[in-house]
A and B are shown apart, each in its own frame.
Chain A
């Protein structure tokens, strides 16, 4: 039973990317992720208030990418991903 639970937890952690999540490697990689999120958000039919919210979050993320605040950007990326998935 214990083995089964460990295997399930490990699989979940690996597939969610939570274990190996890391800040973007560079300013450009950061912007690339921001653009990918923007594209995802544009493709999804979000409610108007959610569109504005995500637009604001993306603007903040892009500013962090430009300022080379890659650790700060990592948190924003996770937040925006969750917002888009939930929206």
Chain B
């Protein structure tokens, strides 16, 4: 009898604990918690907003580096794959380090592309393109370029390299001026070729028809018979008045170098 009484007393003592434990569990369990009514401060629950985060797709920026051996381009385009992308802007860095900011602010649906973007200065060599974008999930962005080479049969003129003038490299003087004259038309790039001996070229100054000038530190050794890469000129189609070359005079008398400037 004593044992029965003891068991009954124990049951009575433990009974209130079970529902309390179950309720506590329910409070911690998000799925069972009715947040709509429980957080409603109008019902006098004592809840107030501490702070908030607005969740939205993040702005991202990535740089697409362009292979320096790629040809020059006249137009670029952007295509989206595997998901929609909002293109905010493109920062296009050209071969001469000029940067062109193209504001886009357009959503490109997966499998479609932006309308082609014309590059300033007709045909330009690209160094890199920074794409500022937002995605709404995984997606792939592709940058495409349209080759700017003149087509077959292109006649002489702005689409082709033309020699602007030459100078003989001295033994004492480290400077030469090649006069071009504005009558020779507008150019977007120049290059130099060297014959007779190598040339240690320090810097170039391109003075345009309007008097503005570009100072370019080149510091390169151009071997005999070789030519530089095309050097992009700033701005669009420009007339050149003259090109000033600063170089290291030749050390030995083993043949004078002749340097020629060509324009495109």
Contacts of B253 in A (CB 8 A): 48, 51
B200 contacts the other chain (CB 8 A): yes
A22 contacts the other chain (CB 8 A): no
Contact of B254 among A31, A39, A52, A66 (CB under 8 A): A52
**Chain A proximity of B220: nearest CB distance (Å):** 8
Chain A: CB-nearest residue to B221: A62
Bound-state Cα–Cα, A52 to B221, Å: 17
Bound-state Cα–Cα, A62 to B172, Å: 21
Q: Are B249 and A42 in contact (CB under 8 A)?
A: yes
**Chain B proximity of A24: nearest CB distance (Å):** 13
**Chain B proximity of A13: nearest CB distance (Å):** 31
Q: Are B251 and A46 in contact (CB under 8 A)?
A: yes
Q: Are A51 and B251 in contact (CB under 8 A)?
A: yes
How large, as a class, is the contact surface on chain A? 10 to 19
Contacts of A54 in B (CB 8 A): 251
Chain B: CB-nearest residue to A58: B251
Give the size of the chain B interface in residues (CB under 8 angstroms): 15
Contact of A39 among B171, B220, B221, B248 (CB under 8 A): B248
Give the most central of A31, A42, A51: most B CB within 10 Å.
Answer: A42
Contacts of B200 in A (CB 8 A): 35, 38
Contact of A42 among B202, B219, B251 (CB under 8 A): B251
Bound-state Cα–Cα, A39 to B171, Å: 10
Q: Are B254 and A42 in contact (CB under 8 A)?
A: no
A68 contacts the other chain (CB 8 A): no
Q: Are A35 and B251 in contact (CB under 8 A)?
A: no
Contacts of A46 in B (CB 8 A): 251
A55 touching B254 in the complex, CB below 8 Å, given contacts A32-B219, A35-B200, A38-B200: yes
Q: Are B219 and A35 in contact (CB under 8 A)?
A: yes
List 11 additional A-B contacts (Cβ < 8 Å) besides A35-B248, A55-B254: A28-B219, A35-B219, A38-B248, A41-B251, A42-B171, A42-B248, A42-B251, A43-B249, A48-B253, A52-B252, A58-B251
Q: Give the top 3 A-B pairs by smallest Cβ distance, nearest first.
A: A51-B252, A42-B249, A38-B248
List 14 A–B pairs whose Cβ atoms lie within 8 Å, in order of A's numbering: A35-B200, A38-B251, A39-B174, A39-B248, A39-B249, A42-B248, A42-B249, A42-B250, A46-B251, A48-B252, A51-B253, A55-B251, A55-B254, A62-B221
